Structure 1
Amino acid sequence: MSSPTPSESAAAAANRKIHDVLPGAVADKIPHIPESKAEVKADAKVAVSTGFTQLRSLAAGGFGGVCAVVVGHPFDLVKVRLQTADKGVYSSALDVVRKGIAKDGLRRGLYAGVSAPLVGVTPMFAVSFWGYDLGKSIVRSTSTVAPDGSLSIAQISAAGFFSAIPMTAITAPFERVKVILQVQGQKQLAPGEKPKYAGGVDVVRQLYKEGGVRSVFRGSVATLARDGPGSAAYFAAYEYIKKYLTPRDPITGETSGKLSLMAITCAGAGAGVAMWIPVFPIDTVKSRLQTSEGNVTIGGIIRGLYKLGGVKAFFPGFGPALARAVPANAATFLGVELAHQAMNKAFN
């Protein structure tokens, strides 16, 4: 091992020792220690830029989530009520809408339980899109990517799956509150009887009183089981459709223009459909698990559903879910893109 030269700084000596002692493949993964004030300033500038980019991802994702809730909540309400209602309560998705409006009016009939996702959707979608960007950074640092920096569909799927991990901590309790309020709205009350829950905060308070934090977070495993593969399919489909719709030179095949907002909207709609198709049965189990009273298990829910109606019992509300996926996810990605454009104009 060589010794430091008199003119060599401690940082330079440390960097040299790392490369002398460790194999090249390992040493190259270790962050470089700044050897001068200029390098420190350059690293600080990169760190600030990276942090600002992540903040933009959080803000854009949050705005996209609000757009998704406003557009998609009525469809989600119908889906959850079909998933959790006893057999014969509703004859179709339109019957859910008709009975809901007749009982609670247009606003409550279509937006029951909307407070929970509206409160939770900003951090939920913000963390999802932030997690996706972070996942892409991890994939780039741990695997081989194309010379132009683009990721393969498998790498995008891995980044998408990663985005669901931090998001579950937010998604699970908010979805627990949302589905409880949605299901409560379909219960027929006796004259003078009041609903069990007065709102989202009251749901959390009573759940915590009944079973502590564990009760509030019931369904977290099922939520991750749904959102992990769902997010992988979601972002992979979005990037694939975007790539397919991007204008290209007919001769060279190179990108020849920016993607239009209409194309982004179509990509978002397709991504939503791609997400729901493989994970809908898991979502049905999650909804049942989060609305059941007493001690229930995922295995018990699965056995009960299969006994109730076979494989078909795992797909009630599939139509409304796909119907919601198109406008809600189109609104999500359109909102994210518009938010990025607005921030680029304001800060660049």
Structure 2
Amino acid sequence: MATRSEETVRSLAHWQFLAGGLSGFIEIICFHPLDVVKTRMQIQGAHPFGGEVVYTCPLDAIVKIYRYEGLSSLWKGIVPPICVETPKRGGKFLMYESLKPYFQFGAPQPTPLTHAMSGSMAAILESFLVNPFEVVKITQQAHRGKRLKTLSVVKYIIKHDGYGIKGLYRGITALVARNAVFHFGFFGFYNALKDIVPSPEDKTYNILRKVIIAGLASSLACVMSVTLDMAKCRIQGPQPVKGEVKYQWTISTIKSTFKEEGFRSLFKGLGAMILRVGPGGAMLLVTYEYLFEFLKSQNI
């Protein structure tokens, strides 16, 4: 029979998974349009094809996508994230909590480095589950015509490119690197800043404090990882010339982008990424913390 402590651990794992999944679902629904904008701006080259709409900034992209493709186009590619992100976020937070004891390095309590390392490791592990869904999502988001059906995109990719690094797992190295760097910064900055900024007694102000800190941590993590995210989008999205693979590996993609489009191109989509991940990350992390505490206290 399981001991009481083992049952408690299992119960906590259930709440961690459920709280992570619910907070992830809410965040996806609210902020997916900015993910579409980020993808469009990152795959946009220095010399757009004739007749192709050019996006100058996130607001310009939102207006033009709405004008030429309709309001629903801002939610292109949302099916893959909903299918995978909700359970994935639950699994990520569960792994994050489970890995923390292994990165305390003798400290009596988890340190910011503990949170950074465990968050980064959990994100690396989730990359192998998420990559096929990312490829399908970006293919849908990049398409400027009518909305592509998710299953049709999956079948097309498998038929023409297969399951490996040329198909559903293309861009896996860029995704692993992006996730590792982003989550190291996100969880590390959040917990470091939370320890520095004093906690007010008023609950409302305390929630606001956490939201601001989480938003700032998300934004800093975006700056750290945006170049890797740009490379990932270019590798996973449609190639500039049909039938020719220009973007295949992370380092070569970054080098060619820098050479052809200049230093600023390495930060393409940063504004949209901060607008999407800054408040989105704040909502995700703070919602997770409060949902977890609520579920645990209710003993559902």
TM-score, scaled relative to structure 2: 0.87
Q: Does 1:310 align with 2:275?
A: no
Give the Cα–Cα distance (whole angstroms) in 1 for the partners of residues 279 and 121 of structure 2.
25
* Amino acid of the structure 1 residue aligned with 2:103: V
Higher Rg: 1
Give the Cα–Cα distance (whole angstroms) in 2 for the partners of residues 320 and 198 of structure 1.
23
* Amino acid of the structure 1 residue aligned with 2:235: L
State whether residues 241 and 270 of structure 1, in contact with CA within 8 Å, keep that contact through their aligned partners in structure 2: no
- What displacement does 1:246 show? 4.2
Equivalent residues in 2 for 1:203-214, closer than 5 Å: 203-214=153-164
Superposed CA deviations along residues 51-98 of structure 1, whole A, max 9, x for unmatched, are 221121111111111122122212111111011023352232222111
Decide which of 327, 330, 337 is 2:279's aligned counterpart: 327
Q: Does 1:129 align with 2:81?
A: no
Give the Cα–Cα distance (whole angstroms) in 2 for the partners of residues 202 and 342 of structure 1.
40
> Which stretch shows the higher mean deviation, 86-95 or 160-169?
86-95
User: What residue number does 1:106 align with?
Assistant: 71
- What displacement does 1:321 show? 1.0
User: What residue number does 2:27 align with?
Assistant: 68
Equivalent residues in 2 for 1:176-325, closer than 5 Å: 176-184=135-143, 186=144, 198-214=148-164, 215-247=167-199, 260-293=206-239, 295=245, 296-298=247-249, 299-325=251-277
Instruction: Give structure 1 stretches of 5+ with no counterpart.
Output: 1-40, 188-194, 249-255
State whether residues 161 and 232 of structure 1, in contact with CA within 8 Å, keep that contact through their aligned partners in structure 2: yes
SS, match of residue 216 in structure 1? coil
SS, match of residue 145 in structure 1? coil
State whether residues 140 and 148 of structure 2, in contact with CA within 8 Å, keep that contact through their aligned partners in structure 1: no
User: What residue number does 1:96 align with?
Assistant: 61
Q: 1:272 to 1:136 in 2, by over 3 A?
A: same
Superposed CA deviations along residues 115-160 of structure 1, whole A, max 9, x for unmatched, are 22122211221122112111202224xx2013xxx22222222112
Q: Runs in 1 of length 4+ with deviation above 3 angstroms?
A: 256-259, 292-296
- What displacement does 1:289 show? 0.3
- What displacement does 1:235 show? 0.7
Instruction: Give structure 2 stretches of 5+ with no counterpart.
Output: 49-53
- What displacement does 1:257 show? 8.0
Superposed CA deviations along residues 306-326 of structure 1, whole A, max 9, x for unmatched, are 222122111111111112222
Aligned residue pairs total 285
Give the Cα–Cα distance (whole angstroms) in 1 for the partners of residues 155 and 272 of structure 2.
31
Give the Cα–Cα distance (whole angstroms) in 1 for the partners of residues 238 and 254 of structure 2.
13
User: What residue number does 1:29 align with?
Assistant: none
* Amino acid of the structure 1 residue aligned with 2:80: A
* Amino acid of the structure 1 residue aligned with 2:287: G
Q: Percent same amino acid among aligned pairs?
A: 22
What is the root-mean-square deviation in Å for CA atoms of aligned residues?
2.2
Q: Does 1:145 align with 2:116?
A: no
- What displacement does 1:264 show? 2.4
SS, match of residue 87 in structure 2? helix
Give the Cα–Cα distance (whole angstroms) in 1 for the partners of residues 163 and 198 of structure 2.
47
